[in-house]
Structure 1
């Protein structure tokens, strides 16, 4: 429900910003970085608050509530790119607060041997909403052309429904609260050195730095394959459909073959997508080619998004697990935000093709570095 609400708004943003407000690649990169990085510090705060009080559900509910309220703000800011940016930051703040506590609830509710599948089920439901959101937005705007206010109201109602589901249907699993502020922080930092968790943080950060933001990926698919701008808001549906379909099977595969191995293989698929976008071979255009790229993009998310949390979660003690997960997520969010800004600058000065070539090379080097830093090939 929450993702359907969020994607109703965000699916139309690339087209709205580029073709409606006329922002350039550099500005789009800044907004993409803000969208990705605004969650970073609040992930840590939300994680530590959940561990401190032993109430991950309460903190998660707070984060979902903040995101719900921001949907009404879009009715007020109009065509202001700055206002849109601030609302995106507020929405991502709510996401930052809720993400680690929500993932902790999953680790507490599922057997360790089945965490890959459990996170796969969650990501499949999560992505079903991400797929339905653009379709709902498209349907609303088809019924009332140009009336974005109606779309925002529908988005708000869906977000509220998501909060109510969490409040009434999710069991409030409790974890032991830290006895003191200092001890809780020290225990969390010590946990990052156990089980190779610190190396996971560094490796995930390296890969995050070379990951192109979703907005740019969809814009590149539309422009490099010469698709109509009207199709841009629907491209996320392709990625979401593949993600939703593959999340559970790949989660089960991760439990069998090793979660870190699958995480790295997911980035190999992303690398293939970058190379295809950069090369844009002769005749490489149209919807069939877009389906290939969106398929690789969706498989990348299915092989990495929940799999990383399933891999690192069991290595962190339960009493500080939310904070530890937040550290990993924050490292990813900050580096992905920096990568989005860097990509925007590269695309503005050298073009999309050259920028994707450079990021493909950087991603290859990051993959080699991540494999060298953390190589528990037999670890699940």
Structure 2
């Protein structure tokens, strides 16, 4: 893949059944609109699935892991080796996303998008892991672009391919998580450039920087943005500042929308990938449900950029897809009331007076 023409591009939702969906929702035994966001979610999922009886089938979470050369600038409070260690933790079932995915019934897959440290697993891996590495971490974008445009496009292609695999298995609801030391630096720079915001409004503490570390991070990222002034389109911006995992999530969004999936959007890093995807194909947003408002500085500004109302506000800032997993039960409730709740006619309940 080497051109924009090769990218999977979603179409806007077909709204042919919207009036019928609204009628079904409004005729349930309740005052119109009284189930609030559940009603708009049911409508959105019905339109995405092109049915008046939306379902949730084989919900999946894909966690993409990759390292960032910008870590060499001391912008994280954790060493880069933690990325590989956390991948091992995911695969042994011990991370937060493992517990939360199990609790809500999501299939979990971990993808090595470009982890720098060799992955050594002291246990057998027979499923739930894919090695699609684009390299041993990106280059240091404080000195040079993180990757070439061609590599960014290849990352998009590989992320899209994983989603198409899950679509072939029947998945129609999907979320994307990430792991990568220093990836909040990449996300902050993507946000600054794509949302046209000063870096001070985008950069946060990430894995827990103190005030001195935060000031250093702002300085490093400010200089990096000044170094790279003319990246061109969104793909070039991704190549300049992004990570291999962010590139793959970008492609995953596009392919999920093309496949007619409902997409649960996680926090700061995952939303930075959506910034890129939405620049490429704005219609991808029709398929997105913003799961939560992260406690990472900048995420709420990202949400405002999309005019998005997140389902949850739990002060999370872990990543991994944890916020997206926690939102799945709300989607289950939305489809349940459409499927299981009686209508005024079927229950013999009088509707409001004309």
Give the TM-score, by structure 1 length: 0.27
Larger RCO, structures 1/2 (Cα 8 Å, 6+ apart): 1
Which is strand-richer, 1 or 2? 2
Give the TM-score, by structure 2 length: 0.28
